Amino acid sequence: MPEARDVARYFISKSEESTSKAVTPLKLQKLVYYAQGWCLARHRSRLFGESLLAWDHGPVVRILYDDYRKHGYYTIPSEPFVNQNEYGNPIFDTHELKVLNDVWEAYGDFDGKYLEEMTHQEDPWLFTARNSTIDIDLIREYFIENLYVVN
């Protein structure tokens, strides 16, 4: 199973500084959350194993917060993404890559604050106490009920 860091690296590779495609730490967290939700809805399986926490600014994977907090509100520099682990095996399968591409197409032009506001209107964040783990089943059910692009 891929890690949240793999998902983050994928989205960071898509970042284009000084455009609507720029990826900041806030935007990154929301893209990773949406990727998890879309994968749960489409394939009924997790994209990554790490938990999402309900923080004040929306869903967060703690390890990604720690990795990218130094960038503050600024764009994380883009780095190429290679879909291969240290053993030469693919990190993401074709279904997972489709989810990542579709999430990028759906949300890649939005900034982090806009995505934060979106998550603040969705059940997984709304129905989880701040700083607590968002129940994976709540994320799954929410996205199954609300995701209309199910291919």
**pLDDT tens, position by position, 88-106:** 999 999 999 999 999 999 9
Neighbours of 23 (CB within 10 A): 26
**Single pTM value for the model:** 0.96
| Predicted pLDDT at 150 | 43
What whole-number distance in Å separates Cα of residue 140 and Cα of residue 30? Answer: 16
Antiparallel, parallel or unpaired: β 58-60 and 53-55: antiparallel
What is the number of residues in the chain?
151
Segment 100-128, tens digit of pLDDT: 999 999 999 999 999 999 999 999 999 99
Two tokens at 51? Answer: 């938990």
Residue 148 confidence class, pLDDT cut points 50, 70, 90: low
The stretch 14-29 carries a mean pLDDT of 97
DSSP 3-state of 137 = helix
Two tokens at 103? Answer: 């999430």
